[in-house]
Amino acid sequence: MAEPPIVESQIAFRPETEELRYLPEGPRDLGPGRISWVAIQHGPKSTEGSLNVLDLETGRNLSYPLPRRVGFAHPIDGGSAFVLGLERRIVRFEPATRSLEPIGDEVETDVSGTIINDGESFEEGVVFGAKDVAFRDRKAGLYWLRWRDRRIIRFRSDQVCSNGKVISRRADGSYTVLDIDTPTRRVVRYRLDVERAVLEDEGIALDLSESESYPDGMVSTPDGRGVIIAFYNPNDRPFGEARQFSLDTGRVETIWRVPGSPRVTCPRLVRWRGGTWLILTTAVEGMPEERRDRAPNAGSLFVAPTSYAAESVAR
């Protein structure tokens, strides 16, 4: 069996401050050459984060401070507003006015030590998860914000760190939901029945238990037959990785290498310079000080080429 090709990435943006380099995640395509991303929190003891908008051509980054930690930010209304997972609330945020409007009820009210983490939008709302900030106990939830009535429905309450998600529509009108609970090193497949508001477990889509790294963020390939997963490696390594897997065979099809930054957090395919590029966020989070000189690019955002056509990538 042929080895998968290895593609080298390069730095697209290095945040100027330690606060912004601590935990970047959640890049989103805002149109050719522009992306948004979140700094989940501004340091190990911080309870504040930010939404950021980056121009890939100029390197100009606009940062919008937020009063709580932010798990994800999805652009709506043509990019003039965002749906955020902010601590334990879903909110609508307008950068121009800095206004925050709560959507639905607060979540995770029956447990302590958890916050909203990753989420994914689709036609019927947002599927999102929470995480135990100690990365230890099975107590965090998996939820669906239903657009039609702004109701938040909880499906699970036994996650440790609910991370990357991919959602696709089936022929019968239901949806396939792929979800990573990071410590398990597995991608689980669910069927979401939006009419009955039921999430059915259909088993393991990918078993990544042999990896020394933890699967973090995830995005679908344009043809829907594979996923690209960012891997967070807590060990002392000279580079990080994102890998593309076939959902049919489980095989690794492509590896993107991230020099000088082993803790890769999230991938996103974006349109830029007439093609499709892979954006990868990376983090400093949890890295001992003595390792920092061996990971000089930690906390940077990276970009790498792909073989996908630009018109195949949806915003």
pLDDT in tens, 93-130: 999 999 999 999 999 999 999 999 999 999 999 999 99
DSSP 222: T
- Token couple for 294: 């061996």
pLDDT in tens, 175-215: 999 999 999 999 999 999 999 999 999 999 999 999 999 99
pLDDT in tens, 59-92: 999 999 999 999 999 999 999 999 999 999 999 9
Residue 134 confidence class, pLDDT cut points 50, 70, 90: very high
Task: List b or e across 95-115, with b for residues whose CB sees 16 or more CB atoms inside 10 angstroms.
Answer: beeeeeeebbeebbeeeeebb
Q: Is the pLDDT of residue 164 over 70?
A: yes
Q: Domains in the chain, please, with CATH?
A: 6-312 (2.120.10.30)
Secondary structure of residue 184 in the 3-state scheme: helix
Q: Is the pLDDT of residue 310 over 70?
A: no
Which stretches within the chain are classed as H helix? 18-22
Q: The whole model's pTM is what? A: 0.96
**Calpha distance 81→276 (Å, rounded):** 24
| Cβ atoms of 294 and 54 closer than 8 Å | no
**Residue 191 parent element (H or E):** strand 186-193
pLDDT in tens, 230-284: 999 999 999 999 999 999 999 999 999 999 999 999 999 999 999 999 999 999 9
pLDDT given at position 138: 97
| Cβ atoms of 177 and 189 closer than 8 Å | yes
Q: Is the pLDDT of residue 40 over 80?
A: yes
pLDDT given at position 28: 98
Mean pLDDT over the full length of the chain: 96
